[in-house]
């Protein structure tokens, strides 16, 4: 899951899920919902966020990870070039 993109000010799915888990745990501890219901709700929310992230790859939370992927690709290319150098 993607995390908070500080440049856009938009929380990513990972941050949203972290906050949701805490909120659900509090509700369980207060006896307002069952732990099985909380887990099912969390799982469904996670699936929904995954679908949204796949459907909209240009979402704000993608920006940071796209930059990371580009840097990782560049790192792999540089390592490969270094290994192939005489």
Per-residue pLDDT of the chain (86 residues; tens, 9 = 90+): 445 455 566 677 778 888 888 998 998 999 999 999 999 999 999 988 888 777 776 665 554 556 556 666 777 788 788 788 77
Pair of tokens at residue 29: 């501890």
Tokens of 32: 């307002």
Which pLDDT score is estimated for 66? 60
- Are 49 and 61 a contacting pair, CB within 8 Å? no
End-to-end CA distance of the chain: 40
Report the alpha-carbon distance of residue 55 to residue 69 in Å, rounded.
19
Q: What is the model's pLDDT at position 2?
A: 47
Place of tokens 């290994």: 83
> What is the pLDDT, as a whole number, of residue 75?
72
């Amino acid at each position: 899951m993607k995390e908070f993109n500080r440049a856009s000010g938009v929380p990513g799915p990972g941050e949203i899920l972290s906050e949701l888990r805490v909120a659900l745990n509090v509700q369980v501890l207060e006896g307002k919902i069952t732990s099985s219901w909380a887990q099912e709700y969390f799982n469904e929310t996670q699936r929904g966020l995954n679908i949204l992230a796949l459907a909209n790859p240009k979402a704000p939370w993608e920006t940071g990870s796209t930059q990371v992927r580009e840097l990782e690709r560049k790192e792999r290319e540089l390592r490969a070039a270094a290994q192939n150098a005489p």
